């Protein structure tokens, strides 16, 4: 037992001693490794220090070389700048000397100018004195003062300038008139040749034939009930007088007059004439006429080739029963549309707008008895409600010159309207109105100063004026013609145009004895 313990203790001691010996061995081995590594590191550090010393010496050498280069460049730049400053200083001194010379020269010139100014002032004073003496002598010779002479000269110059201006104006007007007339003749001649339509002159029917005079009594009826019923249903006055086998219809509305004519014709053919029958026939006739009106408007729009709203078609168709100076307004509107399209084509304008404007230009005449105003203004307002084209509305409003014509459509429609209305045989007017227009034309001409006689010729298409040659010269005759044209345009209404011719005649008469 004790031997075992001792053995165990001996083993433990040996183990401990082994461990301590191992630890000491490990310590010494590590110490040796560390020493070896330290020696290696010291050799590396020494080598690095040597390399660093060599590198520092090299960098220091390069820095010294760079410093030397910079120093050399700085010295060279300094020498160059010093040279440039020296050169500039030399130039400045030269300029200073030059300016001093110029200043001396300018002072010398100024002294010379001052002396010359004094000489000029003395000469000017002498000239003023001489001028004053000459003016006094001229005033004594001419018998006029300076102011009077200036006024005379101004008046003479004004007269010469007026004559020159009139002459120039005459030349310019002649040149412009020749060019514009030539161009207008080309366009209008081509247009008229392309639209060679027949002249159709329709008159308003105001008389209805009767089979016999006995029918007048039946139309009147017992105590006049039939005629009252007819007038109340149609709004037309029925005039039964001594005209054999005929009665007369009187109304300002052509549509009502047409309804009354058709209804009366049906009643005469039917033979049954009493108030109830009259109302029935008139109602049916109204429907027929309304259908005819719409058909006429639709046919006109289709014939011209334009698209219209139904309201405009219905109003346009009413022109079928409207006449102006004996000319059917619907036929006139169709012809105007054709002419407008041709003129627009020649001018390069929109043909569709021109045709629509020409077709609708007189649409105001369909309702001008119901609305206040001119037919051009009424038509423009009417079309404006249903057509959104401003060119169409403007052309209708401007085609009679009631407003300033500012658009091409106004000129196109005005020209087309004049061509359609002014051709021979298209329109006619009453003898009384014709004579009044001729008389008014001559009275306008006679009101001008210097007019000796005036004659309206060519059915009122031309007015010829004989002037007093001692009161009006050639240029005055031109001004008189122009002023008379303006007066006629402002005072009269007439179809087409009126030519104004001023004649100035000087006769030299002597007698041989």
- Predicted local confidence at residue 128, as pLDDT: 84
- Based on the fold, state whether residues 161 and 269 are members of the same structural domain: no
Residue 48 counted as domain residue: yes
**Contact criterion met (CB below 8 Å) for 258 and 321:** yes
What are the two backbone dihedrals, phi and then psi, of residue 305, each rounded to the nearest 5 degrees? Answer: 90, 40
Are 450 and 409 part of one and the same domain?
A: no
**Domain co-membership, 451 together with 487:** yes
- What are the Cα distances from residue 236, in Å, to 220, 248, 288, 319, 365? 14, 10, 18, 18, 19
- The CATH number given to whatever domain includes residue 488 is 3.30.300.30
**Residue spans of beta strands (DSSP E) within 210-262:** 237-239, 246-250
> Is 496 found in the same domain as 439?
yes
Q: How many domains does the chain have?
A: 4
Instruction: Determine the pLDDT at residue 203.
Output: 46
Question: Which of 502, 401, 496 has the alpha carbon at shortest distance from 448?
Answer: 502
Residue 17 lies in a domain: no
Looking at the domain assignment, is residue 123 inside a domain?
Answer: no
Residue by residue, DSSP assigns 252-279 as S-HHHHHHHHHHHHHHHHH---SHHHHH
SS (H, E, C) 77-105: HHHHHHHHHHHHHHHHHHHHHHHHHHHHH
Tell me the HSE value of 265 on the side-chain side, using a 13 A CA sphere.
12
This prediction's pTM: 0.49
**Taking a C-beta distance cutoff of 8 angstroms, is the pair 344, 354 a contact?**
yes
Are 266 and 395 part of one and the same domain? Answer: yes
* 152: in domain: yes
In a domain, 510, yes or no: no
Q: Is 239 helix (H, G, I), strand (E, B) or coil?
A: strand
Contacts of 408 (CB under 8 A, 6+ apart): 347, 349
- Which parts of the chain have pLDDT scores under 50? 196-205
Asked if residue 154 and residue 63 are part of one domain, the reply reads no
Note whether 449 and 489 are same-domain residues: yes
For residues 408 and 441, state if they share a domain. Answer: no
Residue 151: give the domain boundaries.
144-184
**Residue 217 included in any domain:** yes
Q: Torsion over CA of 187, 189, 192 and 196, rounded to 10 degrees?
A: -140
Indicate whether 320 and 384 sit together in one domain: yes
Residue 462 lies in a domain: yes
Regarding whether 336 and 467 lie in a shared domain, the answer is no
Instruction: Tell me how far apart the alpha carbons of residues 504 and 450 are, in angstroms, rounded to a whole number.
Output: 10
* CATH code (residue 330): 1.10.3210
For residue 37, give the nearest of 25, 45, 27 by alpha carbon: 45
Residues 324 and 219 in one domain: yes
Residue 444 and residue 309 share a domain: no
């Amino acid at each position: 037992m004790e031997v075992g313990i001792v053995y165990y203790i001996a083993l433990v001691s040996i183990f401990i001693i082994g461990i301590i010996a191992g630890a000491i061995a490990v310590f010494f081995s590590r110490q040796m490794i560390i020493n070896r590594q330290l020696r290696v590191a010291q050799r590396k550090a020494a080598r690095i220090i040597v390399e660093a010393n060599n590198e520092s010496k090299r960098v220091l050498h390069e820095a010294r070389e760079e410093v030397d280069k910079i120093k050399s460049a700085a010295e060279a730049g300094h020498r160059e700048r010093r040279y440039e400053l020296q050169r500039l200083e030399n130039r400045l001194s030269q300029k200073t000397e030059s300016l001093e010379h110029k200043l001396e020269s300018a002072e010398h010139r100024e002294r010379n100018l001052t002396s010359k100014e004094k000489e000029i002032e003395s000469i000017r004073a002498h000239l003023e004195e001489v001028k004053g003496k000459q003016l006094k002598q001229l005033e004594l010779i001419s018998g006029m003062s300076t102011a009077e002479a200036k006024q005379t000269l101004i008046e003479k110059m004004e007269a010469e300038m007026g004559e020159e201006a009139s002459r120039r104006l005459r030349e310019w007007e002649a040149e412009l008139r020749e060019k514009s007339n030539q161009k207008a003749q080309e366009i209008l001649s081509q247009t008229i040749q392309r639209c060679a339509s027949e002249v159709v002159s329709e008159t308003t029917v105001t008389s209805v034939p009767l089979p016999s005079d006995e029918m007048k009594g039946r139309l009147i009826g017992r105590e006049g009930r039939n005629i009252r019923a007819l007038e109340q249903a149609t709004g037309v006055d029925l005039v039964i007088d001594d005209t054999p086998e005929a009665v007369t219809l009187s109304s300002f509305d052509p549509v009502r007059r047409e309804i009354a004519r058709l209804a009366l014709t049906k009643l005469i053919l039917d033979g049954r004439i009493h108030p109830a029958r009259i109302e029935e026939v008139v109602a049916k006739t109204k429907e027929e006429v309304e259908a005819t009106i719409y058909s006429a408007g639709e046919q006109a729009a289709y014939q011209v080739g334009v698209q219209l709203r139904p309201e405009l078609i219905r109003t346009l168709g009413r022109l079928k029963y409207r006449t102006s100076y004996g000319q059917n307004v619907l036929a006139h509107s169709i012809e105007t549309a054709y002419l407008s399209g041709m003129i627009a084509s020649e001018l390069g304008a929109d043909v569709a707008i021109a045709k629509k404007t020409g077709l609708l230009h007189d649409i105001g005449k369909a309702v001008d008895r119901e609305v206040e105003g001119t037919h051009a203004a009424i038509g423009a307002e009417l079309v404006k409600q249903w057509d959104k084209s401003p060119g169409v509305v403007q052309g209708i409003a401007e085609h009679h010159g009631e407003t300033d014509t500012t658009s091409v459509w106004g000129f196109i429609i005005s020209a087309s309207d004049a061509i359609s209305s002014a051709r021979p045989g298209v329109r006619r007017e009453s003898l009384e109105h014709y004579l009044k227009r001729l008389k008014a034309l001559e009275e306008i001409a006679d009101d001008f100063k210097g007019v000796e006689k005036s004659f309206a010729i060519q059915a009122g298409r031309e007015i010829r004026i004989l002037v007093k040659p001692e009161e009006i010269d050639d240029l005055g005759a031109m001004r008189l013609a122009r002023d008379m044209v303006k007066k006629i345009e402002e005072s009269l209404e007439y179809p087409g145009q009126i030519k104004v011719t001023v004649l100035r005649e000087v006769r030299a008469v002597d007698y041989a004895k």
